[in-house]
A and B are shown apart, each in its own frame.
Chain A
């Protein structure tokens, strides 16, 4: 594999961004051209990614000095390079990013049709793909951080894409600020690693960490601190507790953006980062923290998803929940399983978001599923593809989510039974809320407003073809790559990446004991029971307009977490800013000093101007007096 291939892969979306971003003015009104350029750019990357993937098959990797493109920053005793690290993990990410990204670009051509910001949209989307590629291709933490910030920026831009809407700009700001908190942790983690190792290169750090040459900083706890700080970054970017609050609000952006950035790719960056740093997490034994945060988030978000009525919000909480699973996977040392779930999730969640977009498209941007129902007949393709996605996430036997989720749960059992149990309950909740969504939206009586009902239609081919294409891997990729659990094709493929971590971690995590078959059967039953409950409860009824019990109300209001954060963090900061920083420090002290200086000078000047009489002789008198005083001093005193 050559570096040139990777360069083409990486630069292609950037070129697309530059064309659409700089020359968008000349493309205005020509949707085919700007959409085509954006899509083509990602297609080129996708083709390169396939070639790279084929190259990695033999175990060949681009890493260390071989991957260095050029020296970026050089200083006394350290250099930061622009360089690539390409191995099995990278190519999996590349395929997901460019493959799902390509389909979502195609879908966007139809979805964004007629939007005033059409070229801007494709420019941002291309920029996002570029930043995400930087994130996964970098061979050092600094490049990863550049990509990390880049995707955060694009996420902000795309959430607030319809900036005329107050709610969209608010959501964009919220996402950005919450992400900054996480990024700050990431940055500190990077500093810690640099202080300990004098480098940010993956190979250098992992090698030195294994050789135990890092103990000089913070005694022996360097890696614990570094990995936990990096995990703070992951918690922000991947929307885990307690920083998940931005993701549901991020649904204000266009739906394909939710599919690409807030389901399939960007939010999985944290999982990728931990999988990439597997060696460090094994050495530091901080995987347990990751797994617990993950499983609690998974459960917590799933309970919220039970009570929401907004399709996209259900999917958003579902994403938070599924990301929790991925963290459980990488936390308990089942890195390949976590990444496998990342991949299957990218397919089925991307699919469901796009299908939800298709529903919105037909329903004149209606998102409340209580106002839907019976859409199956009007939108058969959307219905079937959505159904496949929901079955996959619910863990229906032999669909993709079944395999990946089961692997994670199986490994969790070996690590800590409590994680397994919570994970299993979450799996039940997942099946339940997903099929609640399916039944209420697509089955039963139509509750569509009559004004809208007349033009409910299936989406155009440019939108449903990507749905169908995504439905295929959602259904079968688990069977193809996941058969055999921990001995599956996917595990085999990624074996070389996690070999070092596995060796270190051996013994730390109880080996996923025994046969996976009983676990699979349990998972399958739990999933089916969840679907069954949803069918009993919602195939004929719609969700109540108002929450009944107090518990229901609590959950329906998302545990009032936003309100709590508002009261605990936002309002105090606003109050301090308003009353202390603005009123006291800014207007009082800073303005006081500035204005005080001016006032003092005016007073002094006003007094002294009286000396300036305009009478020359008065001046001379003062001069003579001065001379006399000086003369007297020198002659008689000194």
Chain B
């Protein structure tokens, strides 16, 4: 049985990786995957703390997050497909028509 800290550290690393990925990558699909990474980092923290406290609410939350993530994937991928159809690219730097 590992200490709670290890799980949380892993979770933090995963989350940070996700944030950095979102910030630095230009490919929309990669950005998308990094968002999923952040979500799952949060899930990991939920589960670990739930386990450590001996309560189940955190695990219930994880199911919600997974459901929402699934829905998000469905919509997000659809958007990406349709952006690609319009612009022949999924490089987010080139999709900046909302510039002020």
Q: Which residues of A contact B (CB under 8 A)?
A: 608-617, 620-621, 624
Number of A-B residue pairs having CB atoms within 8 Å of each other in the complex: 33
Q: Are B23 and A620 in contact (CB under 8 A)?
A: yes
User: What are the residues of chain B within 8 A of A609 when measuring CB–CB?
Assistant: 100
Can you identify 7 A-B contacts, CB atoms within 8 angstroms? A613-B99, A615-B92, A615-B96, A617-B26, A617-B31, A620-B22, A624-B19
User: What are the residues of chain B within 8 A of A612 when measuring CB–CB?
Assistant: 98-100
Which positions 29-61 of chain B face chain A at CB distance < 8 Å? 31
User: What are the residues of chain B within 8 A of A613 when measuring CB–CB?
Assistant: 96, 99-100
**How far is it, in angstroms, between the C-alpha of A621 and the C-alpha of B92 when the chains are bound?**
14
B88 within 8 Å of A by Cβ?
no
**How far is it, in angstroms, between the C-alpha of A611 and the C-alpha of B19 when the chains are bound?**
21
**How far is it, in angstroms, between the C-alpha of A196 and the C-alpha of B54 when the chains are bound?**
84
Of A609, A610, A617, most buried by chain B (CB within 10 Å of CB) is: A617
User: What are the residues of chain A within 8 A of B95 when measuring CB–CB?
Assistant: 614, 616
Question: If the complex has contacts A616-B92, A617-B92, are A611 and B23 also in contact, measured as CB distance less than 8 A?
Answer: no
Q: Are B96 and A614 in contact (CB under 8 A)?
A: yes
Which positions 78-100 of chain B face chain A at CB distance < 8 Å? 92-93, 95-100
Residue among A610, A615, A621 making CB contact with B93, cutoff 8 Å? A615
The 6 closest A-B pairs by CB, nearest first: A612-B100, A614-B96, A614-B99, A609-B100, A614-B98, A615-B96
Can you name 14 extra interface pairs (CB under 8 A) apart from A615-B92, A616-B92?
A608-B100, A609-B100, A612-B98, A613-B99, A613-B100, A614-B95, A614-B96, A614-B97, A615-B99, A617-B24, A617-B31, A617-B92, A621-B23, A624-B19
Q: Are B100 and A610 in contact (CB under 8 A)?
A: yes
Closest CB of chain B to A608's CB: distance in Å? Answer: 8
**How far is it, in angstroms, between the C-alpha of A615 and the C-alpha of B97 when the chains are bound?**
9
**How far is it, in angstroms, between the C-alpha of A613 and the C-alpha of B100 when the chains are bound?**
6
Which residue of the partner chain A has the closest CB to B28? A616
User: What are the residues of chain B within 8 A of A614 when measuring CB–CB?
Assistant: 95-100
**How far is it, in angstroms, between the C-alpha of A614 and the C-alpha of B93 when the chains are bound?**
8
User: What are the residues of chain A within 8 A of B19 when measuring CB–CB?
Assistant: 624
Closest CB of chain A to B2's CB: distance in Å? Answer: 24
Which residue of the partner chain A has the closest CB to B20? A624
**How far is it, in angstroms, between the C-alpha of A41 and the C-alpha of B31 when the chains are bound?**
90
Q: Are A617 and B99 in contact (CB under 8 A)?
A: no
**How far is it, in angstroms, between the C-alpha of A620 and the C-alpha of B22 when the chains are bound?**
8
Of B22, B92, B100, most buried by chain A (CB within 10 Å of CB) is: B100
Closest CB of chain B to A616's CB: distance in Å? Answer: 6
Interface of chain A: mostly helix, strand, loop or mixed:
helix
Closest CB of chain A to B30's CB: distance in Å? Answer: 12
Q: Are A611 and B100 in contact (CB under 8 A)?
A: yes
Which residue of the partner chain A has the closest CB to B96? A614
Q: Which residues of B contact A (CB under 8 A)?
A: 19, 22-24, 26, 31, 92-93, 95-100
User: What are the residues of chain A within 8 A of B22 when measuring CB–CB?
Assistant: 617, 620
User: What are the residues of chain B within 8 A of A608 when measuring CB–CB?
Assistant: 100
**How far is it, in angstroms, between the C-alpha of A613 and the C-alpha of B95 when the chains are bound?**
11
Closest CB of chain A to B64's CB: distance in Å? Answer: 22
User: What are the residues of chain B within 8 A of A615 when measuring CB–CB?
Assistant: 92-93, 96, 99
**How far is it, in angstroms, between the C-alpha of A611 and the C-alpha of B93 when the chains are bound?**
15
Q: Are A617 and B100 in contact (CB under 8 A)?
A: no
Closest CB of chain B to A23's CB: distance in Å? Answer: 62
User: What are the residues of chain A within 8 A of B96 when measuring CB–CB?
Assistant: 613-615
**How far is it, in angstroms, between the C-alpha of A591 and the C-alpha of B8 when the chains are bound?**
61
Q: Are B99 and A624 in contact (CB under 8 A)?
A: no
User: What are the residues of chain B within 8 A of A621 when measuring CB–CB?
Assistant: 23
User: What are the residues of chain B within 8 A of A624 when measuring CB–CB?
Assistant: 19, 23
User: What are the residues of chain A within 8 A of B92 when measuring CB–CB?
Assistant: 615-617
Closest CB of chain A to B35's CB: distance in Å? Answer: 10
User: What are the residues of chain A within 8 A of B99 when measuring CB–CB?
Assistant: 612-615
Which residue of the partner chain A has the closest CB to B24? A617
Which residue of the partner chain B has the closest CB to A621? B23
User: What are the residues of chain B within 8 A of A617 when measuring CB–CB?
Assistant: 22-24, 26, 31, 92
**How far is it, in angstroms, between the C-alpha of A608 and the C-alpha of B100 when the chains are bound?**
9
Closest CB of chain B to A181's CB: distance in Å? Answer: 59
**How far is it, in angstroms, between the C-alpha of A615 and the C-alpha of B24 when the chains are bound?**
12
Closest CB of chain A to B60's CB: distance in Å? Answer: 26
**How far is it, in angstroms, between the C-alpha of A615 and the C-alpha of B23 when the chains are bound?**
11
**How far is it, in angstroms, between the C-alpha of A624 and the C-alpha of B26 when the chains are bound?**
17
User: What are the residues of chain A within 8 A of B98 when measuring CB–CB?
Assistant: 612, 614
Of A609, A611, A614, most buried by chain B (CB within 10 Å of CB) is: A614
**How far is it, in angstroms, between the C-alpha of A624 and the C-alpha of B22 when the chains are bound?**
11
Closest CB of chain A to B27's CB: distance in Å? Answer: 11
User: What are the residues of chain B within 8 A of A610 when measuring CB–CB?
Assistant: 100
**How far is it, in angstroms, between the C-alpha of A397 and the C-alpha of B99 when the chains are bound?**
99
**How far is it, in angstroms, between the C-alpha of A616 and the C-alpha of B92 when the chains are bound?**
7
**How far is it, in angstroms, between the C-alpha of A467 and the C-alpha of B99 when the chains are bound?**
87
User: What are the residues of chain A within 8 A of B93 when measuring CB–CB?
Assistant: 615
**How far is it, in angstroms, between the C-alpha of A515 and the C-alpha of B68 when the chains are bound?**
116
**How far is it, in angstroms, between the C-alpha of A50 and the C-alpha of B94 when the chains are bound?**
97
Which residue of the partner chain A has the closest CB to B100? A612
**How far is it, in angstroms, between the C-alpha of A624 and the C-alpha of B99 when the chains are bound?**
20
Closest CB of chain B to A484's CB: distance in Å? Answer: 97
Which residue of the partner chain A has the closest CB to B99? A614
**How far is it, in angstroms, between the C-alpha of A624 and the C-alpha of B100 when the chains are bound?**
21
**How far is it, in angstroms, between the C-alpha of A538 and the C-alpha of B95 when the chains are bound?**
102
Closest CB of chain A to B69's CB: distance in Å? Answer: 18
**How far is it, in angstroms, between the C-alpha of A612 and the C-alpha of B22 when the chains are bound?**
18
Closest CB of chain B to A414's CB: distance in Å? Answer: 91
Closest CB of chain B to A619's CB: distance in Å? Answer: 10
Which residue of the partner chain A has the closest CB to B92? A616
**How far is it, in angstroms, between the C-alpha of A82 and the C-alpha of B4 when the chains are bound?**
90
Which residue of the partner chain A has the closest CB to B19? A624
Closest CB of chain A to B13's CB: distance in Å? Answer: 16
**How far is it, in angstroms, between the C-alpha of A610 and the C-alpha of B31 when the chains are bound?**
24
**How far is it, in angstroms, between the C-alpha of A624 and the C-alpha of B16 when the chains are bound?**
11
Which residue of the partner chain B has the closest CB to A609? B100
**How far is it, in angstroms, between the C-alpha of A615 and the C-alpha of B99 when the chains are bound?**
8
Closest CB of chain A to B1's CB: distance in Å? Answer: 28
**How far is it, in angstroms, between the C-alpha of A526 and the C-alpha of B26 when the chains are bound?**
114
Which residue of the partner chain A has the closest CB to B22? A620
**How far is it, in angstroms, between the C-alpha of A29 and the C-alpha of B24 when the chains are bound?**
88
Which residue of the partner chain B has the closest CB to A624? B19
Closest CB of chain B to A49's CB: distance in Å? Answer: 79
Closest CB of chain B to A626's CB: distance in Å? Answer: 13
